[in-house]
C-alpha cells in the first residue's frame, strides 16, 4: 500500500485570492480559486490534482452502484464514424451541437455526444439468442457536445465525463425492470454523493423513445426549470408539463362572432383596454383574448414551414417548451421578409381565419377547448373579432404545449397547484423502446425460434458535472465543503506552530492517520497560520486537524468543516477521535 500523505509544499496547487473574471456561479468561482480545475478553452477544462481526486471518487461511487445492478463496464471510443448516426438521422438532428471532423482520407467522423447507436450495434454483433438477455452495459467516458453557451466552468462543458448505460431486454416488462433498477441505482448514487435532487417527468427530445425522467439537483443557478405540486408530489420538467384541458363548453346560445374596428390595438394591453371600454359589462381580461404567434420551423433536412400557435393572451409562448414540442425541428423567429412574403400575416391582428385560409398549420394551447369564446385578430389592420368560438367559428389543427407554465397553475395530476423551481440535470433515464434496435435490426432468436426485436433503455449521469453540483450544494462563503465520500483527502492537517517538535509531531500524526486508513493532506508550507487556515477552508476537506499553539500542552484542534465545530483534544487521542467520527 502506497503511503497517501500528500504534502502541500510540493503539491501542484496554487490557490487564488480573487474570483476568476469569467465566473458567475459559486461552484465555478470556488473550484478555480481552490485550484481544482483550470480553463483551457470555452467549456474545456483541465483537472488539477485535487479536482481529479474528487472526479475519480465520484466515478467510483457511480461504478459501484452500476455494478450493484449487474451493469458490466466497457469502454467505447469517443471518435466515431458517421454511418451509424446517419442511420438514425442524428448526424443531422444534432445540428451545431455535434463536433464533426474529417480524417486524412476525407471520411466523416464525429466526437460522440452519446452512444445509443454504437451500443445497439455492439449487442447485435455479440448476441444472437434470447438466452443471452437481458444485459446492461455501461461506460464512464469522455463525451463531447458543442454547446452554444458553455457556462459555469465544468457545470456545462463541451468536453465532459458521463456515465452512460444501456439496457437490452426481450420485452417491455423486462425493459421496465431495467429502467426501475437504474432509477433506484441513481437514487442511491445521489444519496451517497449527498446531492439534493428531484425526479421529474421529462421529454425525450432527440433521444426518442416512450418515457423519460430527469434527476435535477436543486439549485438556483440551474438552467432547467421544473414544477411541482407540493400537495401531490407531482414533479416535471417544464418542457414535460401537460396542461390539463378544461371540459368543452356548450356552444348553443353563445353570441355570434362579430368583427369590430378596434383602432390601433396591436398589443394585448391595448386590445384589452379597448374591450373593457367597449363592453364594460362583460369583465374582459387578457385571458379572454387569443394571441396568435407565428414562427418558422426548420426540419433537420432543411425544409421550412410556418407554424402558428394560439395561446390565451395572458400567457407568453415559452420557447423552450415550444422547441421541445416540435423537436427535432428547430424554431426560428419570422422576419420582415417573411411578413412581406406572406401578406395575410397582419402584424398585431393575426387571426385563425387568415392563417387557416392560407394553409398555415394552427396549433393551440389545450385550454382553448370547444365552446370557449375569444377576442382575436381579424387579419386586417385595426380590426379584431369578438366572440369567436372554438369548435363553431374555427377548428384548430391540434393542440401544442407551448404556453408558459406559471406558479399557481393547476397540477396536471389534478391535486394542488404548481410551484416552479430551478435545477441542474444530473441524470436522465429513458425508455427508448425499439427506436435504435429497429434502426440497426438488433434482435435475437426467441424461445419459440422466432426473431425478437430487443427493447433498449438509455441512462446517463453527468459525472464531471457532479463535481460542480456537489460544490454548488456544499459550500459556504469561505470555501468548499466536501462530503466525506468524495473529498480529495479525508483529513487536512495544518501545521501552525514553528516549533520543530510540533513539525515532527504533525508528521507522525499524519503517519498514524494514514495507518488508520485516512488519506491525509499535510500543510507543511512555510506560510503563516492565517494563510493556512484560509486555504484549509477554501479547499474544503471534511476534517481539519490543527497542530498549533496547544501542541506544547499536548493538544491539537479538530475542526469539522461542515458544522464549523472545533474541538481541542489530547494529541494522543486525535486519531481515535477521528476514527470514532469516521
Distance CA 235, CA 328 (A): 24
44 is a site residue for its own copies (CB under 8 A): yes
Cα-based distances in Å from 268 to 125, 169, 264, 374, 473: 59, 53, 11, 12, 41
> Cell numbers at residue 402, please?
407551448
Q: Binding mask 6-25 vs its own copies (x if CB under 8 A, - otherwise)? A: ----xxxxx-----------
76 is a site residue for its own copies (CB under 8 A): yes
Nearer to its own copies, 48 or 306 (CB): 48
70 is a site residue for its own copies (CB under 8 A): yes
* Displacement of CA 415 from its chain's centroid (Å): 26
CB of 81 to its own copies, least distance (A): 4
CB of 280 to its own copies, least distance (A): 54
Number of residues that bind its own copies (CB under 8 A): 55
Nearer to its own copies, 96 or 184 (CB): 96
CB of 222 to its own copies, least distance (A): 23
Report DSSP state, residue 256: P
67 is a site residue for its own copies (CB under 8 A): yes
Nearer to its own copies, 129 or 285 (CB): 129
**DSSP notation for 410-439:** BPTTSSSB-EEEEEEEEEEEEEEETHHHHH
Among 25, 30, 31, 55, indicate the residue that binds its own copies (CB under 8 A). Answer: 55
Task: Report the 10 Å Cβ neighbour count for 9.
Answer: 11
CB of 12 to its own copies, least distance (A): 5
> Cell numbers at residue 193, please?
454523493
Among 116, 159, 379, 401, indicate the residue that binds its own copies (CB under 8 A). Answer: 159
Strand partners, 289: 375
Torsion sign across C-alpha atoms 422, 428, 429, 433: positive
Q: What angle in degrees, to the nearest 10, is found between the helix axes of 463-473 and 26-33?
A: 100
The answer to whether the beta carbons of residues 69 and 78 sit under 8 Å apart is: no
The answer to whether the beta carbons of residues 157 and 388 sit under 8 Å apart is: no
Binding residues for its own copies restricted to 90-109, rule: CB under 8 A: 96-97, 99-101, 103-104, 107, 109
The residue among 520, 549, 424 whose CA lies nearest residue 3 is: 520
Distance CA 546, CA 557 (A): 5
CB of 92 to its own copies, least distance (A): 15
Nearer to its own copies, 135 or 307 (CB): 135
What dihedral angle (degrees, nearest 10) is formed by the CA atoms of 195, 199, 204, 210? 140
385 is a site residue for its own copies (CB under 8 A): no
Scanning 5-13, 248-256, 286-294, 512-520 for contacts with its own copies by CB under 8 A, the matching segment is: 5-13
Scanning 69-77, 327-335, 511-519, 574-582 for contacts with its own copies by CB under 8 A, the matching segment is: 69-77
**Helix, coil or strand: residue 97:** helix
Scanning 77-85, 234-242, 388-396, 541-549 for contacts with its own copies by CB under 8 A, the matching segment is: 77-85
Spatial neighbors of 310 by CB under 8 A, at least 6 apart, are: 290, 291, 292, 293, 352, 362, 363, 364, 365, 368, 376, 396
453 is a site residue for its own copies (CB under 8 A): no
Distance CA 8, CA 536 (A): 11
Distance CA 483, CA 471 (A): 9
CB of 303 to its own copies, least distance (A): 22
Among 27, 31, 33, 35, indicate the residue that binds its own copies (CB under 8 A). Answer: 35
Q: Binding mask 106-145 vs its own copies (x if CB under 8 A, - otherwise)? A: -x-x-x------x---x--xxx-------x-x----x-x-
49 is a site residue for its own copies (CB under 8 A): yes
Residues in touch with its own copies (CB under 8 A): 2, 10-14, 35, 38, 40-41, 44-49, 52, 55, 64, 67-68, 70, 72-81, 96-97, 99-101, 103-104, 107, 109, 111, 118, 122, 125-127, 135, 137, 142, 144, 146, 148, 158-159
Amino acid at each position: 500500500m502506497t503511503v497517501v500523505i500528500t504534502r502541500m509544499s510540493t503539491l501542484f496547487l496554487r490557490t487564488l485570492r480573487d474570483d476568476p473574471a469569467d465566473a458567475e456561479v459559486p461552484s465555478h468561482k470556488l473550484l478555480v480559486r481552490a485550484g481544482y480545475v483550470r480553463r483551457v478553452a470555452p467549456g474545456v477544462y483541465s483537472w488539477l490534482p485535487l479536482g481529479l481526486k474528487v472526479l475519480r471518487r465520484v466515478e467510483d461511487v457511480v461504478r459501484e452502484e452500476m455494478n450493484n445492478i449487474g451493469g458490466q463496464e466497457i469502454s467505447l471510443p469517443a471518435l466515431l464514424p458517421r454511418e451509424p448516426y446517419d442511420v438514425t438521422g442524428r448526424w443531422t438532428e444534432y445540428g451545431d451541437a455535434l463536433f464533426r471532423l474529417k480524417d486524412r482520407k476525407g471520411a466523416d467522423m464525429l466526437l460522440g455526444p452519446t452512444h445509443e447507436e454504437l451500443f445497439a450495434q455492439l449487442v447485435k454483433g455479440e448476441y444472437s439468442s434470447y438466452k443471452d438477455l437481458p444485459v446492461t452495459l455501461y461506460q464512464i467516458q469522455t463525451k463531447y457536445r458543442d454547446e452554444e453557451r458553455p457556462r459555469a466552468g465544468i457545470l456545462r462543458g463541451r468536453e465532459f465525463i458521463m456515465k452512460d448505460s444501456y439496457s437490452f431486454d426481450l420485452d417491455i416488462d423486462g425493459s421496465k425492470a431495467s429502467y426501475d433498477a437504474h432509477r433506484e441505482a441513481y437514487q442511491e448514487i445521489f444519496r451517497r454523493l449527498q446531492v439534493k435532487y428531484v425526479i421529474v417527468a421529462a421529454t425525450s427530445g432527440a433521444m426518442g423513445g416512450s418515457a423519460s425522467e430527469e434527476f435535477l439537483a436543486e439549485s438556483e443557478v440551474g438552467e432547467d426549470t421544473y414544477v411541482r405540486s407540493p400537495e401531490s408530489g407531482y414533479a416535471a420538467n417544464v418542457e414535460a408539463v401537460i396542461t390539463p384541458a378544461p371540459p368543452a363548453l356548450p356552444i348553443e346560445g353563445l353570441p355570434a362572432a362579430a368583427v369590430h374596428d378596434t383602432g390601433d390595438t396591436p398589443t394585448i394591453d391595448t386590445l384589452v383596454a379597448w374591450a373593457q371600454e367597449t363592453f364594460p359589462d362583460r369583465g374582459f381580461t387578457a385571458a379572454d383574448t387569443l394571441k396568435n404567434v407565428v414562427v418558422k420551423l426548420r426540419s433537420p433536412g432543411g425544409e421550412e414551414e410556418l407554424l402558428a400557435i394560439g395561446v390565451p393572451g395572458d400567457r407568453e409562448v415559452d420557447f423552450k417548451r415550444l422547441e421541445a414540442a416540435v423537436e427535432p425541428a428547430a424554431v426560428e423567429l419570422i422576419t420582415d421578409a417573411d411578413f412581406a412574403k406572406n401578406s395575410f400575416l397582419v402584424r398585431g391582428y393575426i387571426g385563425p381565419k387568415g392563417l387557416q385560409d392560407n394553409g398555415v398549420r394552427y396549433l393551440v394551447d389545450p385550454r382553448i377547448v370547444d365552446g370557449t369564446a375569444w377576442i382575436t385578430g381579424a387579419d386586417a389592420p385595426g380590426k379584431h373579432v369578438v366572440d369567436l368560438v372554438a369548435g363553431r367559428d374555427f377548428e384548430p389543427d391540434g393542440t401544442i404545449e407551448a404556453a408558459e407554465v406559471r406558479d399557481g397553475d393547476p397540477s396536471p395530476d389534478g391535486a394542488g397547484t404548481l410551484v416552479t423551481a430551478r435545477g441542474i440535470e444530473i441524470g436522465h433515464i429513458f425508455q427508448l423502446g425499439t427506436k435504435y434496435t429497429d434502426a440497426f435490426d438488433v434482435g435475437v432468436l426467441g424461445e419459440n425460434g422466432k426473431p425478437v426485436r430487443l427493447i433498449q433503455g438509455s441512462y446517463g449521469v453527468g459525472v464531471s458535472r457532479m463535481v460542480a453540483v456537489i460544490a454548488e450544494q456544499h459550500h459556504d462563503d469561505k470555501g468548499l465543503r466536501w462530503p466525506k465520500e468524495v473529498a480529495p483527502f479525508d483529513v487536512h492537517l495544518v501545521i501552525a506552530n514553528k516549533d520543530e517538535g510540533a513539525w515532527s509531531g504533525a508528521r507522525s500524526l499524519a503517519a498514524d492517520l494514514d495507518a488508520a486508513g485516512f488519506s491525509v493532506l499535510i500543510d507543511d508550507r512555510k506560510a503563516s497560520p492565517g494563510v493556512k487556515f484560509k486555504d484549509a477552508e477554501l479547499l474544503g476537506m471534511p476534517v481539519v486537524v490543527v497542530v498549533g499553539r496547544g501542541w506544547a500542552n499536548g493538544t491539537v484542534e479538530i475542526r469539522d468543516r461542515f458544522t464549523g465545530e472545533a474541538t481541542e483534544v489530547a494529541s494522543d487521542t486525535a486519531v481515535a477521535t477521528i476514527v470514532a467520527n469516521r
